[in-house]
Structure 1
Amino acid sequence: MSAADDLDTITERWSALQEAAGTRPTTSWPPAMGIARLLDDDERQALAEERADTDPDAPGPRPTPVNVDVLDVMTTIETGLVTTADWLASRVQRPVVTSATGRGWGDELHRQVVLLAAKDAADPRRWHFTGQRDAPASAEWLALRVRATPGPFRALDEGEHQAVARVAAMGAEMIRRTLGEARRTEAVPEPCPAPCGGQLVVEGGDGEPPVVRCEDCGRTWTEASSGAA
């Protein structure tokens, strides 16, 4: 995907990320898939208390649903985008037109210059270092810059374009993973139960059923079956 596409993904999926942040996590990654560790008595008790605490009929005040992991992802993405927009604007955004005032000039030409300066400062295409500086606003502004949309800017050079592309790709990938839209692979600490004793990896996280695969013998396991594929 292009940098502009990645930035569009961030803008379009940000509200879904906000919704996900307002709920408690219901799944974990990687999935246990029959290779789950045994819980000790303290862990079982903690899980039982958590289930009771989320029961709407249980006594006592209800905790505010929140997914801290999603909030951390949002903070990381937003910080990267806003910082990149600040950096890029300092390089490619033309300084605001200025006009001397307070000298008693009243001719029409001077009034036009003052009006031009005011309009240039208020140009909504400009990136402002104060005010609305969230992830969607910065992603949208950066997308316009990589698309070379006209405005008080010079064109991006190759280095600037690549810098924006890296931040955009990171943010879009983090969103896809967080929302379960990107498949990923992670090593499993237990060895393959087959004679090869090879490295196991679990693949999933994109909404499709997860699969455990041995990188040595190639055997696979799914949650639907206990035998090898």
Structure 2
Amino acid sequence: MTTTPTTPTTPADHLDTITERWNALQEAAGTRTVTTWPPAMGITRLMTEEERQEQAAERADTNPDAPGPRPTPVNVDVLDVMTTIETGLVTTADWLAERIQRPAFRAPTGRGWSDDVHKAAVLLAAKDAADPRRWKFTGQRDAPTAAEWLSLRMRDQPGPFRALDTGERDAVASVARMSAEMIARTLGEQRRATPLPHPCPQPCGGQLVVEGGDGTPPLVRCEDCGRTWTDTTTAVA
């Protein structure tokens, strides 16, 4: 029995998704994907002869046995998505930390280490400044680190912070949702619908749309007559 993955419903869930799926994005960026969107799904019979020849030429050009220089095995589109997500998350964390993160304690000056009170104050200040719960404006500033820190703030975990107000929560939620959606779309885990440039082969001649991309078998649907096509069926009324 196949279990359907639970769709994240809260901003913190979206942030957890980013942390959990980042390695998958890195793997996708290091290989050139062999799947395309929208999928052909046997609807090449609807293409013109010129379109079929262009598609065949494109396949030949990407064949590893074809002559000529081979493309770099890096998926630039995935790298662009990762850069966009990382920039958004780190920028949001910087912005939020400036607003909610309490400055570290400062030790009093003018006394030597022989003063036990001063010594305790200096140690307390150093410990407070080094609190690992603090967002760091230098050092490790990648997407998983920012997503985890933002997730803890959205869950009101304790630390040297004040509680987020409604505007701050909404801003983080927006970035989290868009980032999670970009990951799902890039990894082919989000359902999509794309119009096709060919009319329905039925008398209606309606607009065809290919749907899929969420792990389920894709299908072609006519928006006029409602008929659908899959890889294993010809037409479903």
Under a length normalisation based on structure 1, what TM-score does the superposition of the two structures give? 0.88
In the alignment, is residue 165 of structure 1 matched against residue 165 of structure 2? no
1:78-227 to 2 correspondence within 5 Å? 78-101=86-109, 103-106=110-113, 107-227=115-235
Could you tell me the TM-score, scaled by structure 2's length? 0.86
Q: Match for 1:210: what amino acid? A: P
Amino acid at match of 1:105: G
Map Cα deviations across residues 126-184 of structure 1 (whole Å, 9 max, x no partner).
00111100010000000000000000000111111111111111111111122222211
State the Cα deviation string for residues 35-54 of structure 1 (Å, max 9, x = none).
Answer: 44544767644532321xx2
Residue segments in structure 1 that go unaligned for 5+ positions in a row? none
RMSD: 2.2
Please list every run of 5 or more consecutive structure 2 residues that lacks an aligned counterpart in the other structure: 1-8
Residues matched between the structures, number: 224
Equivalent residue in structure 2 for 1:74, among 75, 82, 92: 82
Superposed CA deviations along residues 68-122 of structure 1, whole A, max 9, x for unmatched, are: 1111111111111111111111111111111244x34331111111111111111
Q: Which residue of 2 aligns with 1:6?
A: 14
Write out per-residue CA displacement over residues 1-56 of structure 1, whole angstroms, 9 at most, x where no aligned residue: 101111111101111111111111211111123344544767644532321xx24x
Corresponding residue number in structure 2 for 1:26? 34
Contact 2:90–2:141, Cα closer than 8 Å, also in 1: yes
Shift of 1:200: 1.8
Deviation at 1:63, TM superposition (A): 5.1
Q: Distance in 2 between matches of 1:10 and 1:193?
A: 42
Give me the whole-angstrom Cα distance separating, in 2, the residues matched to 1:61 and 1:205: 31
Superposed CA offset, 1:169-203 (max 9, x none): 11111111222222111222322222322222111
